[in-house]
Amino acid sequence: MSQLPRFCLSTPRLHLRSFAETDLEALVAYRSDPEVARYQGWPRPYTAEMGQALIDEMMNKPLDVQGAWLQIAIEQQESGVLMGDCAFAVRDSRGQQAEIGYTLARPFHGQGYATEAITRLLQYLFDERGLHRVHASCDTQNAASIRLLERLGMRREAHFVENYWDDGQWTSEYLYAMLAREWKAKAA
Ligand SMILES: CC(C)(COP(=O)(O)OP(=O)(O)OC[C@H]1O[C@@H](n2cnc3c(N)ncnc32)[C@H](O)[C@@H]1OP(=O)(O)O)[C@@H](O)C(=O)NCCC(=O)NCCS
């Protein structure tokens, strides 16, 4: 008997679900795409062994490990194809704040899929998990990610100037956040 996925949220076009063995090829393909990887912290080149290790870790990870990222597969309902992933990590000691992240393979950009996926993730974190605050960091050059965060209604809270070393240079980041009351006001 097959096991039910441990994590599964749905939207009109997507399933946000636990990673599965069958995701390896698509995961490695989009993580190896230089344009997709440009602002992400994973090692390059991104090998099949790294992809397999991530899938093994995520398939066996409990939902509530404090401080640890839970990577969630984003699947197109219509085709069953793995389009990308999103993630959250509950960061504070009260378990009331989370950081989120997201990636889509290039063929799925520009169609509102990330907005749809992350809106559902925020709904899960605020309405189902009762979190107080969700935040995300993004490279100040990552225009698509900035547009996504602002479309979601997140506020730019901080601009860290040359705060991390990436690809041989000092790099700057924005920090975006949303409070539960802001989420509720937006939903209303
Ligand atoms: C960040 C990322 C997920 C954003 O993807 P995206 O395709 O721009 O975002 P969405 O899927 O929500 O699509 C929104 C775009 O589709 C358009 N769109 C088309 N149909 C749409 C629909 N039905 N609903 C909403 N938007 C739609 C919007 O107008 C918007 O275009 P714009 O950004 O030019 O204004 C993507 O660029 C990515 O994976 N980048 C690589 C990984 C990365 O950098 N991650 C972030 C690290 S901080």
**What are the tokens at 108?**
């799925």
CA of 38 to the centre of ligand 1 (A): 15
pLDDT tens, residue by residue, 75-121: 999 999 999 999 999 988 899 999 999 999 999 999 999 999 999 99
Sign of the alpha-carbon torsion through 129, 37, 167, 150? negative
> Does residue 5 have a pLDDT over 70?
no
The pLDDT of 115-133, averaged and rounded, is 97
CA of 69 to the centre of ligand 1 (A): 22
- Structural domain boundaries in the chain: 8-132
Q: Are 157 and 137 in contact (CB under 8 A)?
A: no
Using CA positions, which residue lies closest to atom 1 of ligand 1? 145
Using CA positions, which residue lies closest to atom 30 of ligand 1? 110
Q: Which atom of ligand 1 is nearest to the CA of 39?
A: 44
Pairing of strands 133-139, 155-166: unpaired
CA of 86 to the centre of ligand 1 (A): 13
CA of 168 to the centre of ligand 1 (A): 27
Q: Residues 145, 151, 153, 155: what is their CA dihedral angle, to the nearest 10 degrees? A: 40
Residues with CB under 6 A from ligand 1: 36, 39-40, 102-104, 109-115, 138, 142, 144-145, 147-148
Using CA positions, which residue lies closest to atom 35 of ligand 1? 147
CA of 3 to the centre of ligand 1 (A): 32
Residue among 104, 140, 173 whose CB has most ligand 1 atoms within 8 A, to mutate: 104
Whole-angstrom distance, CA of residue 152 vs CA of residue 178: 9
Q: Are 161 and 174 in contact (CB under 8 A)?
A: no
Transcribe 152-182 into DSSP letters.
TTPEEEEEEEEEEEETTEEEEEEEEEEEHHH
* Number of H-type helices and E-type strands within the chain: 6, 8
pLDDT tens, residue by residue, 8-55: 999 999 999 999 999 999 999 999 999 999 999 999 899 999 999 999
8-132 fold: Aminopeptidase (3.40.630)
Whole-angstrom distance, CA of residue 53 vs CA of residue 8: 21
